Copies of this chain bind each other. A is one copy, B any other.
Amino acid sequence: MTITTPTSIVQSIVNSQSLSMTQNFSWLYRGTAEIFPQQTVVENLSPDSETDQESLENLLANSHRPLRVKYGIDPTGAEIHLGHSIPMRKLRAFQDAGHTAVLIIGDFTARIGDPTGKSEVRRQLTEADVAQNAQTYLDQVRPILDFDTPGRLEVRYNSQWLSVLDLSKIMELLSTMTVSQMLAKEGFAERYKKESPIFLHEFLYPLMQGYDSVAVHADVELGGTDQKFNIAVGRDLQRHFGQKAQYGLLLPILIGIDGEQKMSKSLGNYVGLLEHPFKMYQKLQQVPDKLLSQYFELLTNLHEAQLPDSPRDRQKLLAQTVVKQYHGEKVLDEIEGGEVPEFSLSGVQFPAKLSYILSASGLCKSNSEARRKIQELGVRLDGDRQTDVETTFAAGSELFGRVLQVGKNKFVRLVP
């Protein structure tokens, strides 16, 4: 079931209504790249029965308990962006339909790091790092998920079950797969072909992710389209341990505002959830025409029919809708009313220290308060946390148009 254009969404809404007359599953298919398996054989029913095969939609329609919908995150402390919001928004849709979002914090692998020391991504974190990073993550997704309705959110740390596995259990996990199956995985396949080394412990990562599904009894796992293999491993392991296998629901990887590459902080083509709303508003007005439909589909609740015709108007509506979602109508009104305070750098002599600009602009009362705020991690420039009290800018032109922010509510736009 591959649905990426609004037309096909409409089609699947129609389909889903014909399958289940009483419920509307458009929330399930909206923006969804793939649901697998499309049908699954239900055991203990006669093969002639009309319901001997079940789709996720049937399960949703007929389940007498909330389904457990798993999504795993790495507590690496990254500031998250609109690309990351996509599975979170789908989790929220499941929550709103009465199901339980099970958010897995992958603290186990983060705490052991990469044993070869070769992976930048998997550097070793302390227990305190992990706790703080998980909290940072949860703070960022608070506007998206339902944290308040009882039974709608479970946050679980996978060290709880992974740290107690012993060698015999690990052998059991490994014995469920063959070398060829693992080497067929995207990523491994190319590396093996290119003869670049694949270390044996790397085979454990998909199995650990899969075992998470066993541990939390997942009914559905969400992930990007690059997660199909890992989610399928979870299905195999659940069956191995006598559970019903989860469904996989895959979501597209968002293309960045450059219209070229996947959204990523390091590529600079991202819109961060912690960015100042004014900056978010500005960036979303630059989204290329060709991406607008997908951005609306994945990042808002608007329907194609509600969108204006002109690309410029669409960009503006996108910016308004997303800013309103994350910051509310009042902030949007302030931005649109030109109420973002500006600070002219014309009176500042460069090179100038960040701390000086903070006090000169009135964001901080003094240079020493400015230094303290930086040390307390309360200062951001275009959403990027500033951590070095010695940061110095060579020229004002480096800063023109950027938003300098202290805490949640104090900010200025820097102008010439």
Tell me if A199 and B170 are in contact (CB < 8 A).
Answer: no
- The number of chain A residues with a CB under 8 A from chain B is 35
User: Per DSSP, are chain A's interface residues mostly helix, strand or loop, or mixed?
Assistant: helix
Whether A171 contacts B115 in the complex (CB less than 8 A), given A166-B163, A198-B178, comes out as yes
Q: How far is the CA of A115 from the CA of B183 in the complex (A)?
A: 21
* Complex partner residue of A179 from B172, B175, B183, CB under 8 angstroms: B183
Tell me if A166 and B168 are in contact (CB < 8 A).
Answer: no
Contacts of A182 in B (CB 8 A): 200
For residue A337, CB closer than 8 A to chain B, the reply is no
B-contact 0/1 string along A390-409, CB 8 Å cutoff: 00000000000000000000
Copies in the complex: 2
For residue A335, CB closer than 8 A to chain B, the reply is no
Contacts of A111 in B (CB 8 A): 168
B-contact 0/1 string along A166-205, CB 8 Å cutoff: 1110111011111110110000000010010111110110
For residue A165, CB closer than 8 A to chain B, the reply is yes
Q: How far is the CA of A409 from the CA of B206 in the complex (A)?
A: 60
Among A112, A167, A195, A203: residue with most chain B CB under 10 A = A167
For residue A149, CB closer than 8 A to chain B, the reply is no
B-contact 0/1 string along A14-55, CB 8 Å cutoff: 000000000000000000000000000000000000000000
> CB within 8 Å of B: which residues of A?
108, 111-112, 114-116, 162-168, 170-172, 174-180, 182-183, 192, 195, 197-201, 203-204, 208
Report the 7 A-B pairs with minimum CB-CB distance, sorted nearest first. A115-B175, A174-B201, A174-B200, A175-B201, A178-B197, A112-B168, A171-B201
Contact sample, A vs B, 21 pairs, CB 8 Å cutoff: A111-B168, A115-B171, A115-B174, A162-B167, A163-B166, A163-B167, A165-B167, A167-B170, A170-B170, A174-B200, A174-B201, A174-B203, A175-B199, A177-B199, A177-B200, A178-B199, A179-B179, A179-B199, A179-B200, A180-B192, A180-B197
